Amino acid sequence: MQFLLAIGCAVTIGILIPISANISDRYYWIIIMAPVSIMPVMVLYGIILKRWQKGIYALLIYMPFSGLPGILLYPIIATGWMTLIKDIFFIIPAYLGFIWWYSRTQKRLIFSGGMITIIGMFFLVVLVILQCFNPNIPNPMVALIGLKVWLFYLPLFLLGYHLVNTKAHLVKLAQTILAFGIIPALYGIAQAILIYTGNRDIAYAFHGLAAEGATQMFASFEVASGAWLMRVPSLFTFPLQYSSFLLVLLSVAYGLWYGGIPKQTHRIWYFTTLAMIVVALFTSGVRAVYTLVPAFFVITLLLERKWRKIWKTLIALISLVPVGLSILVWLLGSTLRDFLNFTNDVIMLYLGTESEFGLIHQFEYAMDITWLGMGTGMNTGPARYAFWETGGKFTQSSYVNIVFDTMIESFQGKVIIELGIIGAIIVVFLLACLIITGYLKLRQVKDPTLRAIGIGLLAFIITTVIYLYKGAVLDYDPLNVCFWLFAGILMKIPEL
């Protein structure tokens, strides 16, 4: 109870500090807010420093609701600043507590089978730091933001490995993630129903003024004549955050359901939850999920070496995906044929050789701009705010104008623009090591529950890597956190 109270106080203070900072009388903040702010933060840091694992637990509990501060404070505070709450109150003290814990216990950090992944991370860290000094970078803030996006969450790989010690502990962690995470999923489904039934005012009432930004200016895509696909943000400030969080939940729900938790009521609950997550993904309005969700289930089929057991996944694939699509088509007032044609057009947009969004075009365009890289942060989404000077004028750099006037939105394009061809090789090496090592670790697992959770985690990692083809999704919450944390947990599963 004290721990949850400290979390609540910390998040509340994280909201009140920016508000008070915007009050003209700065002495109000110094006299009133400073003492009120310091004590809860000190308590929270003390708890997490004493046991760093609580910082990660608090982070995972907070993630489903991480968009609320940005929604409630818009437009007083830019939503981008609210993403720092998780870093300041949970991740930084968890890092500090982990270092202190390691210095006292001298636990083994380099684990069997993960050394090659650590080597890949080391080369990436060195190159990203070196590119911070690239002369093309217009100001230090661009490099600092790029440095944070690239490297700040990498240590979660180590923390994830040391987070769980027993099978029961891992199951409890997965159950906690799912229990809190289903709340924004249900809210998103209700929001989608309201939108498609003509009640947009009610659907976006909670977002208020933030609704326009959270929906990308109420973006919509024509599926067929009279049928439009709408963006659904749920409790987040951006549709990508919502759909990405649902992908995280999908992997956890799949692992718990497929793992054969003994009680029949549990199996029914997990399958029902899995179905709700699939429906939430399909109604989120993010077009990539219409390929990512089937891909996730296909990947889980391929990862299950015991073919006599794949019937459960086949049931999910041939039932949940069609049901989810049917619900969406019904809400759209369209037909399944029209929607499949729409999905095919989206796929060809990103896979077609002639498309400006395609892999070949993006790669060639990035290579035309630079071979050696233009510097850390130069094509990082959150760093775009640092390109504006105090006077509101855009930084006049020919390189900056080249990058930000083009359509380099893919991850491979970002890597080349920032780190060059050497960086692309290192990133491919690191991601390949992560997937191969994860698969080798999974092959060592015999326990059905642990194996099922491991399959869910590895399928999530592979699906995220596939998603990188579309865009630099690891730049944003919650994938930047869960990708590395789940990878570390996956490495630990055989030892449980």
Per-residue tokens: 478: 């919650």
Buried b (16+ CB within 10 A) or exposed e, 426-441: bbebbbebbbebbeeb
pTM of the model: 0.88
* Cα(357)–Cα(389) distance, integer angstroms: 30
Residue 340 scores a pLDDT above 90: no
Instruction: Name, in order, each residue with C-beta under 8 angstroms of 134's C-beta and a sequence gap of 6 or more.
Output: 143, 373, 374, 375, 376, 378
Where are the domains positioned within the chain?
2-107, 156-356+410-495
Residue 438 scores a pLDDT above 70: yes
Give the containing element (helix H, strand E) for 311: helix 311-332
Per-residue tokens: 239: 């549709």
pLDDT band with cut points at 50, 70 and 90 for residue 106? low
Q: What is the pLDDT of residue 491?
A: 92
Buried b (16+ CB within 10 A) or exposed e, 295-304: bbbebbbebb
* Cα(242)–Cα(295) distance, integer angstroms: 19
Provide mean pLDDT across the span 343-371. Answer: 72
Q: What is the pLDDT of residue 208?
A: 81
pLDDT band with cut points at 50, 70 and 90 for residue 176? very high
* Cα(204)–Cα(128) distance, integer angstroms: 40
Residue 263 scores a pLDDT above 70: no
The fraction of the chain above a pLDDT of 90, given in percent, is 34
364-393 pLDDT, tens per residue?
777 778 888 888 888 887 777 666 543 444
